[in-house]
Amino acid sequence: MYKIERTSPGNDFNFVLLAEHGHTILKSNFFDSVEDVKKQIESVKTNALNMSRYERKTTSDGKFYFNLTNASGAVLGRSQTYSSEAGMENGILAVKSNAHTLQIQLPS
């Protein structure tokens, strides 16, 4: 499920993609409107199955994470950090299997 969130305080919006168990597996940057977030979600759906769109990264303290990008390299969303490379790869698989959900929860 995609959950669209509003910053508090403020009028910036982002989405989180939740796995079936409710954990966040991808989080977007902030946008000015819910409509812009919905466009970003559609781009995630377009790019999620393409393995070349996943940039695998390592933090300065040795944790692993990934960015999902579009064809021009713009970041669509970032994962949480993982303690292992295998955990990160499982996170990528979770994005691939959950990205095409039709469920979108709007901010209240």
The structure's pTM equals: 0.92
**Percent of the chain scored above 90 by pLDDT?**
91
The first and second tokens of residue 33, run together, are 């409107």
Mean pLDDT of 6-30: 90
Is the CATH code 2.30.29.80 the one for domain 2-105? yes
Q: What's the chain's length in residues? A: 108
Q: What is the pLDDT of residue 107?
A: 86
Q: What is the pLDDT of residue 10?
A: 72
What lies within 8 Å, CB to CB, of 24 at 6+ separation is 16, 17, 18, 80
**Percent of the chain scored above 70 by pLDDT?**
100
Do you find a cis peptide bond into 107, omega within 30 degrees of 0? Answer: no
Let me know: does 80 contact 91? Beta carbons within 8 Å. yes
Given a cut of 80, is residue 27 above it in pLDDT? Answer: yes
How far apart, in whole angstroms, are the C-alpha atoms of residue 98 and residue 51? Answer: 15
The first and second tokens of residue 72, run together, are 């021009």
Mean pLDDT of 14-25: 93
